């Protein structure tokens, strides 16, 4: 049990799955949100208490950073220490977290975690303008409660970390805060990713908030998106890197 906690500090996954909206490309094990939830996201909210926040869905490796027993720890999506991963990209992530440790200590209190997309290695989308190789999209309390968008952004604002591009924010001032997939996709393709996508954007995530809390999330992925297109284990070709570590951890100097 002690050894398991050492390798899986949270005792759980770092991040779960999000249901898909109609028309989204489903992968193995994926599921749709209910028809009622899809309506709230894309057609009409229940009332003025619903807030709909839509952000770009970035294409990389879902990873997390937690503060456990005073230690800042880099994790993969399954909840294991990034340093135990068989993949180079996760060891690179652990090095990067070590270098940016002070920022994570500004954000997190004991038992909390922040989750984001590690974009250093291209999966199905290449990026050529990374402000940072990691983009944060969720913060969870020690009780595993997801923070609402404004609360999350306020935590991150004081650091140099980034969040995905905001595509829509529908609140009580705009009674029908819902927004269609077509409008979100048009907005995203018009703007492009803030990270400089070479390939078409992957999609978007709808956050439905109510009473200052997250009610549920939903996502839409473009139907022709191919998962892991640039990963060596799928492509049979060398890895494609959007960003690389150019110095040693000891030097504490990293650049892309």
Over its C-alpha atoms, the chain yields an Rg (Å, rounded) of: 18
pLDDT level of residue 2 (50, 70, 90 thresholds): very low
Domain boundaries, the chain: 2-235
Per-residue pLDDT, averaged over 198-227, amounts to 96
> Do residues 188 and 75 touch, judged by C-beta distance below 8 A?
no
Q: Using pLDDT thresholds of 50, 70 and 90, give the confidence band for residue 172.
A: low
Place of tokens 């924010």: 169
Q: Give 190-193's long-range contacts (Cβ < 8 A, gap of 24+).
A: 191/165, 191/167, 193/56, 193/58, 193/127, 193/165
Mean pLDDT over 192-199 rounds to: 89
2-235 under CATH 3.90.1150.10, yes or no: no
pTM listed for this prediction: 0.92
pLDDT at res. 256: 45
């Amino acid at each position: 049990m002690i050894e398991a906690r050492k390798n899986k500090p949270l005792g759980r996954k770092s991040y779960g799955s999000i249901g898909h909206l109609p028309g989204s490309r489903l992968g193995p094990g994926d599921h749709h949100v209910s028809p009622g939830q899809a309506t709230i996201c894309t057609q009409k909210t229940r009332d003025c208490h619903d807030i709909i926040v839509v952000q770009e869905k970035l294409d990389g490796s879902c990873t997390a950073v937690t503060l456990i027993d005073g230690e800042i720890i880099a994790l993969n999506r399954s909840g294991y220490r990034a340093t135990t991963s068989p993949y180079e990209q996760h060891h690179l992530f652990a090095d990067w977290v070590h270098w940016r440790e002070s920022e994570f200590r500004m954000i997190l209190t004991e038992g909390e975690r922040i989750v984001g997309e590690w974009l250093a290695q291209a999966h199905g989308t290449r990026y050529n303008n990374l402000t940072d190789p990691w983009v944060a999209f969720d913060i969870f309390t020690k009780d595993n409660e997801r923070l609402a968008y404004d609360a999350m952004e306020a935590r991150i604002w004081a650091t140099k970390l980034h969040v995905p591009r905001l595509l829509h924010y529908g609140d009580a001032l705009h009674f029908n805060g819902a927004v269609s997939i077509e409008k979100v996709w048009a907005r995203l393709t018009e703007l492009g990713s803030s990270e400089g996508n070479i390939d078409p954007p992957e999609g978007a995530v709808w956050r439905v908030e109510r009473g200052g809390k997250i009610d549920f999330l939903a996502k839409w992925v473009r139907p022709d998106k191919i998962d892991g297109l640039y990963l060596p284990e799928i492509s049979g070709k060398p890895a494609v890197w959007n960003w690389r570590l150019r110095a040693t951890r000891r030097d504490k100097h990293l650049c892309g």
